[in-house]
Amino acid sequence: MKATAIAHPNIALVKYWGKADVDTNLPAVGSISITLDSLTTTTRVDFDSGHDRDELILDGAPASEQRAKRVRFCLDLFRRLRPDLPPAVVESENSFPTAAGLASSASGFAALVTAVNAVLDEPLEVNELVEISRRCSGSSPRSLFGGFVELALDGDSTAVRPILNRRDWPLDVVIAVTSKTAKKVGSTDGMELTRRTSPFYESWVEKSSYDLALARGAIASRDFEALAVVSEASCLAMHAVAMAARPGLMYWNGTTVECLHRVRALREEGEPVFFTIDAGPQLKAICQPGASDRVASALAEVPGVIEIVRCGLGDGARVVEG
Ligand code: PMV
């Protein structure tokens, strides 16, 4: 009972921010993302280890208790459906820094549920994997699929569907890493603070279905300019609603803001590029492939940028070895 799976992080263009139910980690809004290619989480599960509890080895060393607990929670969700699953040793490696705000929890849980499913005599259905991974990290079910992916609300559960293959619109992503310090307020706490205290929270939730519709249309017609407008709007609205919480959440640093202005200036000069920023200080520039060299050099020159990471669009989570 051993399997290995890989998965890649995804970046939301229409953002998820806010939970309808904290206990079941149900998002308050749907979201649309792109799955990346070159950043990879590789996760191996071994249910034959003979250990008496689940163990997590992360990047070659025993993981913190907090991380191990999240993995045990995930395995226990499988055990509700497959009670005979013995304790596992889970070994997970990221080809990128875990705490650098590059969505390692999304690729981590997508790889984990895919690997666990591969050892089951009766594998779970995709929608069951979506629900399990979503309970562990709201953005992770999107990494089960490649290309452009929508996570839609469906009553008190969620459904995830690929909306466009990566080969049908091969965009590039240039990530400007501006800090490697772990963020002070994680996404769950940030979302809850925003829901409880931000005066703009209800309008954020209401406006989200409009942005989802615009993004779906832009992706269906491969309209880069329309996707740029809705993605930047969704990102800025997410940060605005979070900044208006009490105390206000500020995930950006000065370099993030400089990068944002640089991307806007490039677009005004005619480069097909737009930005998005998650709950951290890294700026992600999405561009048409012909523009990515110029975008990467321009962002590398912004004072304070420590590293440039470049990706294309990638495939969903998959088993790589039995
Ligand atoms: O999956 P979580 O709980 O880490 O939340 C992700 C939240 C954002 O990255 C800020 C937005 C998104 O939709 O990915």
Distance CA 14, CA 80 (A): 32
Yes or no: say if 281 and 253 are a contact pair by the CB < 8 Å rule: yes
pLDDT tens digits, one per residue of 56-112: 999 999 999 999 999 999 999 999 999 999 999 999 999 976 655 677 799 999 999
Å from CA of 194 to ligand 1 middle: 14
114 lines ligand 1 (CB under 6 A): no
Local confidence band at 230 (pLDDT 50, 70, 90 cut-offs): very high
Residue 98, pLDDT score: 62
139 lines ligand 1 (CB under 6 A): yes
Q: Whole-model pTM?
A: 0.96
Q: How many CA atoms lie within 13 A of 115 on its CB side?
A: 30
Does 46 score more than 80 pLDDT?
A: yes
Å from CA of 269 to ligand 1 middle: 31
- At a CB cut-off of 8 Å and minimum separation 6, what does 101 contact? 177, 179, 183, 278, 279, 280, 281, 282
Q: Residue 106: which H helix or E strand, with range?
A: helix 104-119
Å from CA of 177 to ligand 1 middle: 17
Which ligand 1 atom lies nearest to the CA of residue 11? 14
Q: 86, exposed or middle or buried, with CB in 10 Å at 0-12, 13-18, 19+?
A: middle
pLDDT tens digits, one per residue of 107-146: 999 999 999 999 999 999 999 999 999 999 999 999 999 9
Distance CA 27, CA 297 (A): 37
What is the greatest pairwise CA distance in the chain? Answer: 61
Distance CA 131, CA 143 (A): 13
Instruction: Please choose, from the candidates 169, 158, 309, 175, the residue with its C-alpha nearest in 3D space to the C-alpha of residue 255.
Output: 175
Residue 296, pLDDT score: 98
